[in-house]
Amino acid sequence: MYQERRPAGLVGRFFITLGQFIGLGFGGINVYLSEQKAKGQANSLLLLFLRALFFFLRPFFDPELISQPFPVQFRKRLERLGPTYIKLGQILSLREDLLPKSITDELKNLLDRLPVVSYERYQELIEADLKRPLNTLFRWIDPNPLGSASLAQTHRARLLTGERVVLKVLKPGVRQTVETDTKLLRLFGRIAQIFLSRFQPAAVIDEFCSYTLREVDLRFEADNAEAFAANFKNQPDVHFPKIYREVSNRDVLCMEYFKGIKPDARAAAILTPQEKNKVVQLGIGAIIQMIFRDGFFHADLHPGNLIIFQDASVGFIDLGMVGRFDRDMQHRLFYYFYSLVMGEPENAARYLASLAMPAKNSDPEGFKRAVAGLYGRWLRTTSHKDFSLAQVILQSILIAGQYRIHYPGEIILMVKALVTVEGVGHVIVPGLDIVQASRGHVQRLLLEQFNPVTIFRSSLLVLPELVDILNRSPLVLTEGLKQFETNLKKPPDDPTAGLRMIVLAGSCIISAAILFAAGAPWFFSAGLFILALFAILRRG
């Protein structure tokens, strides 16, 4: 049962956190001393000092915990620190580019089912946030939770209007704890940045804090669900839960209940071959669209967050954590993925390197050569079952650390989404060729990008600037002609004047072409061409 406590203040939480990390440090010393003893190392001055220090301080630490391997100690310390650090551990479990594999593998075992808030207290939390009695909102709430995670707890329910819904309620005290912890983590990140700048701890922690603070305001998850639904409004077989805003707020989220099955071995056993193909194509197509067309994707994707409906359509749930790419990164990611699935390793390596954040003493060219070699080996593989598309992308991200190159956290979350959809695809259709299955989707996106209608709509974004140029062009032409006439009457004193004239002539020609293409009156373009001619004659 969930033990509700009054959240500690900033100072109290600081000492709690500091105590756990000091304990982790001494646990690491104990592991180191045990390893040196097993190796039969001589008693150096350092080892003697550490043994003496540990002898006097050992009674202050949990003897069972500090005797565990260091990755296990790390995981258990995070669990003891509560929801913020459990979420941090789950994110760090993906960062094999920053942490040893032994630690990331252990962090994957972090608790995902935590103590349950009592049903009575759960009801009180709903009424306190919505400020209305439950009997005026719901016909029934299931006393047994669907799930209890680090931040929130979910129950099934039925509205008075009859709709079956899921209620997600933030656990008591979680928001205050997360807000305090994120302040401390940012402080620790700044300090760690001084000593471990190569790993960019401040940037990683800032990114994590931003994600987590949004997750403890359930209105953001409601916004995410509606944004996804809008992006996929033309795809009736890809579903996102409807949000009931009138029964939702900051601590309570009421959303449509999805009745279906998880994409596991049971689903593979009961679906027909046609249904399996439909599920796989919908899943791959949805992820490719999220990442490479919309730049807005599910950043906490795992099989538990996917639903298969009776008609073989698919649904996505638990939308609190999303990743975003700006348009420039979105395009470069798409060209990277397109090059990869179309079998162009050099182009794929070049685009991947363009997404990186080089650190001091980095080697981008060496990284590109290593990645191109990796992709070449992957393309020569006869079967991609053991060396899959998602795995080769993950490996290319991991080797970046060897060349002192790092990537934004969104890239890692994107890779997780690709790994998930590929893993689900292999469960549903064993031996699935994910490359072949992806080609049709990326080719469709490429055609969409070069569709004349799409290009025209994009050009409308710069229409105000073109109109401004047209409005000012008569004055510019008049002043320009006056200046040219003045310059023609006197010899040039500046030895660079000729070069400037050439540059000006080129600018006039380019401007004239833009105005003509934009539909400007012919005499504006003609005037600019005359100015260019004057510049060329003056140069002569």
Q: Which CATH number belongs to the domain containing residue 170 in this structure?
A: 3.30.200
The pLDDT of residue 524 is 47
Asked if 405 and 415 sit in the same domain, the reply is yes
Q: Give the per-residue pLDDT at 520.
A: 47
Residue 174 contacts residue 217 (beta carbons within 8 Å) = no
- The answer as to whether 204 is a domain residue is no
- Written as six digits, the tokens of 173 are 């005290």
Question: Does 246 share its domain with 381?
Answer: no
524 Cβ partners below 8 Å, 6+ apart?
A: 470, 473, 474, 477, 512, 515
Three-state DSSP class for residue 140? strand
140, β-bridge pairs: 158
| String of DSSP letters for 24-60 | HHHHHHHHHHHHHHHTT----HHHHHHHHHHHHHGGG
- Please list the residues that pair with 159 across neighbouring strands: 138
Within a domain: residue 180?
yes
The CA-atom distances, in angstroms, between 399 and each of 73, 385, 413, 476 are 27, 21, 17, 54
Task: Output the six-digit token pair for 484.
Answer: 């040219």
Domain boundary among 46, 77, 110: 110
Looking at 230, 257, 284, the residue that finishes a domain is 257
pLDDT at 515: 47
- Are residues 104 and 222 both part of a single domain? no
Residue 51 lies in a domain: yes
Task: Please check whether residues 398 and 425 belong to one and the same domain.
Answer: yes
278 and 378 together in one domain = yes
Q: In Å, how far are 20, 409, 533 from 195, measured between CA atoms? A: 20, 21, 61
State which residues form the domain around 477: 463-539
User: Are residues 452 and 360 part of one domain?
Assistant: yes
Instruction: Please report whether residue 528 resides in a domain.
Output: yes
Same domain, 439 and 477: no
Domain membership of residue 481 (yes or no) is: yes
The H helix count followed by the E strand count for the chain is 22, 12
Nearest to 67 by CA among 21, 39, 38, 30: 30
Matching residue, tokens 């997360």: 178
Domain membership flag for residue 429: yes
Cα(166)–Cα(154) distance, rounded to whole angstroms? 7
CA–CA separation, 95 and 295 (whole Å): 21
Q: What is the pLDDT along the chain (540 residues), one digit of tens a residue?
A: 666 667 778 888 888 888 888 888 888 888 888 887 777 765 677 777 877 877 777 777 888 888 889 999 999 999 888 888 888 888 788 776 667 888 888 888 886 667 889 999 999 999 999 999 999 999 999 999 998 888 899 999 999 999 999 999 999 999 999 999 999 999 888 888 787 766 677 877 888 888 889 999 999 999 999 999 999 999 999 999 999 999 999 999 999 999 999 998 888 899 999 999 999 999 999 999 999 899 999 988 888 889 999 999 999 999 998 989 888 888 888 888 888 888 888 888 888 888 877 777 788 888 888 888 888 888 777 665 666 777 788 788 778 877 878 777 778 788 888 888 888 888 898 888 888 888 888 888 888 766 655 555 555 555 566 566 556 656 655 665 566 556 555 555 555 455 455 545 555 555 555 545 444 444 445 555 555 555 555 544
> Residue 142 to residues 138, 266, 273, 441, 514: CA-CA distances in angstroms?
11, 26, 36, 41, 65
For residue 86, what pLDDT is reported?
Answer: 87
Residue 322 bridge partners (DSSP): 298
Q: 409 and 274 in one domain? A: yes
Clarify whether residues 161 and 225 are in a common domain: yes
Structure tokens at 245: 């805003």
Total domain count, the chain: 4
Burial class (CB in 10 A: 0-12, 13-18, 19+), 46: exposed
On whether both 312 and 342 belong to a single domain, the answer is yes
Residues 439, 508: one domain?
no
Strands 238-239 and 314-316 turn out to be: parallel
**Tokens for 149?**
């995670």
DSSP string, 271-331: S-HHHHHHHHHHHHHHHHIIIIIISEEESS--GGGEEE-TTS-EEE---S-EEE--HHHHH
DSSP string, 149-166: -SSEEEEEEEETTS-EEE
Question: CA 249, 250, 251 angle in degrees (round to 5)?
Answer: 95
Residues 428, 293 within the same domain: yes
- Give pLDDT, residue 257: 96
Q: Which of 440, 461, 482 is the last residue of a domain?
A: 461
Predicted confidence at residue 377, as pLDDT, reads: 83
Q: What is the pTM of this model?
A: 0.75
Q: How many Å apart are CA 75 and CA 125, to the nearest integer?
A: 30
C-alpha 426/C-alpha 435 separation (Å) is: 12
Q: Coil, strand, or helix at residue 444?
A: helix
Domain for residue 31, yes or no? yes
Q: Is residue 206 part of a domain?
A: no
**Across the strands, what pairs with 316?**
306
